[in-house]
Homo-oligomer: A and B are copies of this chain.
Amino acid sequence: MTAPPASRVAVLGVGLIGGSVALAARLRAGAHVTGWDPDGAALAEALEARVVDAAAREPAEAVAGADLVVVAAPVAALPAMVATALAAAGPETAVTDVGSTKSAIVAASVDERFVGGHPLAGAEATGVRHARADLFEDATWYLTPTSATSGLLLERVHRFTAALGAVPTHVDPAEHDRLMAAVSHLPHVVANVLVAQVAEALGGERLPPTGPSFRDATRVAGANPALWAQIYAGNRDALVERLDDALGRLRDVRDQLAAGESLEAWQAAAGEHRRALLEVGLTGGPRTELRVAVPNRPGVVADLALTLARAGINISDMSLSPSPDGTSGVVALWVAQDAAARAHGLVADLGFAVT
């Protein structure tokens, strides 16, 4: 048993996500949590419900003395709030966020103490009263370190998210945004289009009973307009690219259908794609530890994590041991046993000694 990843945590923004981070940090990671929220009533409710141990009047007051700060603000408010947190935080404090898009906030927050984050968790309900300590259980939690990121603080954020029950997963910020555009933002846009065309085609005159495929395909239509408008805008370039791609594919199939061509092979190919996508993330299995000697400078651990991520190798656990003089250290990385040889080779190619 190692020490808890963070003993004092600040959470800025105690809605559904921030409140759940606070609860899980208290109940699962044994941390003391100070919360702050621009909405005084929400903050009072969080304190009353013991979602947080203490409530601060200002962000700087919450951040003072924290090992780790989690900024859980709407996407558009993140850059200013992360800057406030970094300004108030000490040199050894990690700052992370939970925003759904990452390129903009990472570009705006170049600091060795900052690690972008994005838990794939949420619910239809919003607000601190729906906060749950198990919201992140087995959820992917993307971390987007860069060449500026401190290895020690990256390790802390990684272990913190794992302590909340999540599966921390390293990814480049731009790749994260492209991925989210494809697997989340485009499906939300498409769901809106599907409900709009049905509603308008029926002219409000008669709304029919529908099968399950329509419910499934449109479950997220119209979700939280203020939040989603920010997410779309925050990932504009990647989402426009995905929309153009989808438009091209829909035009192709429309033309094939109109020309009387059979869509059977196209339908079968989609089935293959779906099976391939659904087989993902169901691996588990035994793990192997790689120990890597690294110099103690920002970006080194991030580089290791991202190199493995790009090769499809996830780091299920991470532990960093600095040398006594603080100039170097050893990073222990746990990866799937069947990926260990490949990981060993990739790390060695970066010029590091692996044991």
A1 within 8 A of B: no
Check if A268 sits within 8 Å of B216, measured CB to CB.
no
Check if A208 sits within 8 Å of B188, measured CB to CB.
no
Check if A183 sits within 8 Å of B210, measured CB to CB.
yes
Smallest CB separation, A206 vs chain B (Å): 4
Please report the total number of A residues contacting B with Cβ < 8 Å. Answer: 93
1/0 per residue, CB under 8 A from B, across A309-330: the answer is 1111000000000000000000
A80 within 8 A of B: no
Check if A184 sits within 8 Å of B197, measured CB to CB.
no
The 6 closest A-B pairs by CB, nearest first: A222-B271, A229-B264, A192-B270, A222-B270, A199-B273, A209-B281
In the bound complex, what is the Cα–Cα distance between A187 and B220 (angstroms)? 14
Q: Which of A191, A192, A205, A276 is packed against the most chain B CB atoms within 10 Å?
A: A192
A56 within 8 A of B: no
In the bound complex, what is the Cα–Cα distance between A220 and B239 (angstroms)? 23
In the bound complex, what is the Cα–Cα distance between A214 and B216 (angstroms)? 10
Q: What residues of chain B lie closer than 8 Å to A311, measured between beta carbons?
A: 206
In the complex formed, the residue of B with least CB distance to A243 is B254
A159 within 8 A of B: no
Q: Contacts A120-B211, A254-B240, A257-B236; is A196 near B270 (CB within 8 Å)?
A: yes
In the bound complex, what is the Cα–Cα distance between A226 and B268 (angstroms)? 8
Q: Contacts A220-B213, A250-B247, A280-B208; is A228 near B267 (CB within 8 Å)?
A: yes
Q: What residues of chain B lie closer than 8 Å to A182, measured between beta carbons?
A: 197-198, 201
Interface residues of A in 38-89 (CB under 8 A from B): none
In the complex formed, the residue of B with least CB distance to A217 is B187
In the complex formed, the residue of B with least CB distance to A266 is B192
A147 within 8 A of B: no
Check if A214 sits within 8 Å of B276, measured CB to CB.
no
Check if A179 sits within 8 Å of B197, measured CB to CB.
no
A341 within 8 A of B: no
Check if A253 sits within 8 Å of B183, measured CB to CB.
no
A269 within 8 A of B: yes
Q: Contacts A194-B246, A242-B197, A312-B206; is A189 near B229 (CB within 8 Å)?
A: no
A233 within 8 A of B: yes
Partner of A222 from the list B122, B251, B268 (CB cut-off 8 Å) is B268
Q: Name 25 A/B residue pairs within 8 A (Cβ), A-sorted.
A: A186-B194, A187-B194, A187-B214, A188-B213, A193-B246, A195-B277, A196-B249, A196-B273, A197-B242, A197-B249, A198-B277, A206-B311, A207-B281, A208-B281, A209-B280, A217-B219, A221-B273, A222-B267, A224-B267, A229-B267, A233-B260, A236-B257, A243-B254, A247-B251, A250-B250
